[in-house]
Structure 1
Amino acid sequence: MSSGSAFDLLLDALRHNAGRRRWLQGASALALPAWLATANAQGTAASAVNAVLRVGRDHPVKTLAAAAAQAKPGMTIEVQAGDYPGDVAVWPQDDLTLRAVGGRARMLANGAHAQGKGIFVTSGKRMTIEGFDFIGARVPDRNGAGIRLERGSLTLRDCRFQDNENGLLAANDPAIELRIESCDFGAIAPGDGHTHNCYVGAIGKLTVIASYFHHGATGHLLKTRAAVNHVFYNRLTDETGRASFELEFPNGGLALVMGNVIQQSAATENYHLIAYGNEGLSNRRNELHLINNTLVDRRPQGGVYLRMAQPAQKLRLINNLLHGKHELPGGPDREQHHNYFVELDSFIDPDRYDFRLRPGSPLFGRAVDAGVVDGQPLRPAMQYQHPCALKEVPAGTAYTPGAFQV
């Protein structure tokens, strides 16, 4: 695939939200990472089916629950913008696309839940949900989710999760694939440490792009047991929250973590930002590649950037910027270089979570090529732009440590 066609495919994948959000700045073709070349793969089958079911106050079908009962595989369900209180649903159909039209569709739990699990329960293959807000999920076992992914595959695009016991909760099934694009996870409901902004079970693959995880409450911002994890160009900033880990891979797996801003709050009860292998390495392949991230520790007593409870088969820390303790222990088990400790005044506006380097920083141009893993180049072609967007890194930009190149 040429670089131009890959870029066109990305624009197609994000087209439905272009009127609501600035996804990209600039539209010139460029050599994109491999994950962008398949940006809308899960929606391909659904796009071939013309059946449209319209839902909302101005249509015969008024509720999502009624739409779920009537939906056929391959349908597009267009949901009129507005509030849908107590409107919970189970979606077993394959190749469905749920799309908010005319604004946001706000799913307000208001004490209701589907199957005792959450607002939406999905089990269909190649399902896509776009432009929805999931708010206030509560269930009797205190593990309620905005979305409970039980089986199949799911793409979330431009969705928001607020005040849920779990934002999204995915089951343990190696056949599941989950893709999260430009979504907002937070703030989470107060919990007992078992609720998380996003909790992904032992699935086959997780891809997270251009998303925002923030304001945790004792649990983690993003916890994933997936066998393969691509976590690219996101903002995981606990800010004034009380999250435990910002990012955790409790069972290892292949984790490519590139171009992320990861910040630990002053109120955290846990001093680790990222954790790997805390519950044993249960995957066949266990590699952690931390490339071009900006890690900011605001814990007054100081924290630890990375906790390795189990040694990975491969551990690489390259081109990261770090604020906090000037401690990044090395060892024979890791490839670790071109990481730089910086003070807060190195950033443009750290109190407002703008962790771009100031103009004139001596660090511009001091990154090195981190190579390729499984065909995926580990040099940023994009960077996160708040809120929940991507910005192109122009060709010829000086290659710089940290999440931001421009």
Structure 2
Amino acid sequence: MTRRRELLAAAAWMPLAAHAGPVLQVGPRRAVKTLAAAAREARDGMLIEVDAGEYVADVATWPQHELTLRAVGGRVQMVAAGAHAQGKAIFVTRGRRQRIEGFDFMGCAVPDRNGAGIRLEAGSLTLVDCGFRDNENGLMTANDEGIELDIVDCDFGTILPRAGLTHNLYVGAIKRLAVTGSYFHHGMLGHLLKSRAALNHILYNRLSDEIGGRASYELEFPNGGVAVVMGNLIMQSSTTENPHVISFGAEGATWEKQALYLVNNTLVDQLPSGGIWLRVKAQQAEVALVNNLFVGGPRLAADGYWKRQANFAADWDEFVRAAREDFRLKPGSALRGKAVDAGEGGGARLMPSREYRHPHTTVALSGPARQPGAFQS
């Protein structure tokens, strides 16, 4: 619990809320034994403490505001086992400033084949240390410009093999998305992370389809918007469904402001024929590529108006142990110290202050970021 508070405090856009309201305890040995029952009893401002363990076919809709669901004594595993709330998800959330900590959502499948671990339909939601596995989609949101979504130290894992395009994370046309310290992997036809949000902060994550993964894009912003993509390890697998790694504006630039800041990322391509690092279709978008490392054979189809500074094609032997996915630069690498000041953009200082640590967390840097790529230590 202390670690979760540290994680939230480290994210400047996510103030840590105090819980002065009533507490509702849930578990097999409690008066309230299921999450479905808790959802019926919960009131605005409650802290719901849920005993660790498996909760099978226990689905719920949460309309309350200022609500926190917190796992106690270990992880809470929500196993769909054929059940779903409203034909949509294991949890459907609609309240303002909701928070879920320490939950795993597993195995959601629905008749329209668009089931999710969580469906966020309104309000705002913060996830801390949550996992998504073997769902048709990990998490989905509605198209609502009032929605805000914060994701910290979460694992968006394997997607169920289903017909259609299913995504590890699919964010609709919402106000804001922030993702830090999270691991997206083993996609199936859809994208690892797809966001239509107006503002996106994608910081210090690992998006890596892994062996056998069949994701399309690793990262897509189909309607553009403003996207700060900084400090991420992004890897395209040899079995990808699409040669593009990152796509911006492919379905039309619907937001007034269009900007992509790709800063201090390590991008790795394992496609034998080589792919394309970045596709930008949003005309007049501000595009800045600074301090990135490109590993592999794809093309960088850069337009002349893009800002490009201190980006390097790196050979596999520049890294400590690339074969083991350790993409820290070797102490003797000629690329060390080559990072430049990227300035500001998208409401953020474009200078990493943390770095991703596997399997899904971040650690603070001890000093200024001097190396190109996602890793400074």
Same fold (TM over 0.5): yes
Find the counterpart in structure 2 of residue 36 from structure 1. Answer: 11
Distance 2:139 2:12 in 1: 25
Q: Structure 1: where are the runs of 5+ without partners?
A: 1-13, 25-31
For 1:314-353, list aligned pairs within 5 A. Answer: 314-325=286-297, 327-353=299-325
Match of 1:123 among 83, 94, 97: 94
Q: Distance between the aligned counterparts of 1:326 and 1:264, measured in 2?
A: 10
1:207 lines up with 2:203 in the alignment: no
Indicate yes or no: 2:280 matched with 1:293: no
CA contact (8 A) 1:251 1:283 kept: yes
Deviations 1:20-48 (A, max 9, x none): xx969xxxxxxx9xx82233x3x52xx24
Question: Post-superposition shift, 1:193?
Answer: 4.0
The alpha carbon displacement at 1:327 in A equals 3.1
Contact 2:279 2:301 in 1 (8 A): no
The Cα shift of 1:125 comes to 0.3
Distance (Å, rounded) in 1 between the aligned partners of 2:323 and 2:162? 27
**Is 1:273 aligned to 2:248, yes or no?**
no
1:155 corresponds to: 126
Q: Which amino acid aligns with 2:13?
A: T
Q: 1:342 Cα deviation (Å)?
A: 1.1
Whether 1:284 and 2:284 are equivalent positions in the alignment is no
- CA distance in 2 between counterparts of 1:314 and 1:155 reads 29
Q: Does 371-380 or 119-128 show the bigger shift? A: 371-380
Where does 1:125-140 land on structure 2 (aligned, <5 Å)? 125-140=96-111
Q: CA deviation at 1:350?
A: 2.4
The aligned amino acid for 1:110 is A
Please report how far the alpha carbon of residue 99 of structure 1 lies from its aligned counterpart in structure 2 after TM superposition.
0.1
How many Å separate the matches in 2 of 1:153 and 1:326? 38
1:378 and 2:353 aligned:
no
| Residue identity opposite 2:276 in structure 1 | V
Counterpart contact for 2:98–2:125, Cα < 8 Å: yes
Q: Structure 1 residues 374, 341: closer, same or farther in 2, change over 3 A?
A: closer
**Higher helix proportion (structure 1 or 2):** 1
Mapping for residues 4-403 of structure 1, pairs under 5 Å: 15=2, 17=4, 36-39=11-14, 41=15, 44=17, 47-240=18-211, 241-325=213-297, 327-373=299-345, 375-395=347-367, 397=368, 399-403=370-374
Select between 369-378 and 222-231 the one with higher mean Cα deviation: 369-378
> Would you say how many aligned residue pairs link Structure 1 and Structure 2?
376
Query: In the TM superposition, what is the alpha-carbon distance from 1:16 to its structure 2 partner?
Result: 5.5
Q: What is the CA–CA distance in structure 1 between the aligned matches of 2:62 and 2:168, rounded to whole Å?
A: 22
Task: Report the aligned-residue RMSD.
Answer: 1.7
Name the stretch that deviates more: 318-327 or 219-228: 318-327
Cα distance, 1:144–1:180 mapped onto 2, change above 3 Å? same
Q: How far 1:164 sits from its partner (Å)?
A: 0.3
Amino acid at match of 1:36: A
Secondary structure class of the residue paired with 1:174: coil
Contact 1:23 1:391 (8 Å CA) reproduced: no
**Aligned residue type for 1:352:** R
Deviation at 1:348, TM superposition (A): 2.2
SS at structure 2 position matched to 1:202: coil
What per-residue deviation string (whole Å, max 9, x for no partner) do you get for residues 182-228 of structure 1?
00001111133421000000000000010000011111000000000
Gaps of 5+ in 2: none
Q: How far apart, CA to CA, are the structure 1 residues paired with 2:149 and 2:298?
A: 36
Q: Secondary structure at the match of 1:79?
A: strand
Separation in 2, partners of 1:215, 1:352: 17
The answer to whether the 8 Å contact 1:288/1:312 transfers is: no
Answer whether contact 1:326 1:341 (CA < 8 A) is retained. Answer: no
Superposed displacement of residue 249, structure 1: 0.1
TM-score (norm 2): 0.96
Superposition TM-score, scaled by structure 1 size: 0.89
Q: Report the AA paired with residue 100 of structure 1.
A: A
Contact preservation (8 Å) 2:275, 2:299: no
Q: Deviations over 1:321-364 (max 9, x none)?
A: 00122632333321012110012222222233222212211111
| Percent identity of paired positions between Structure 1 and Structure 2 | 56
CA distance in 1, matches of 2:21, 2:258: 42
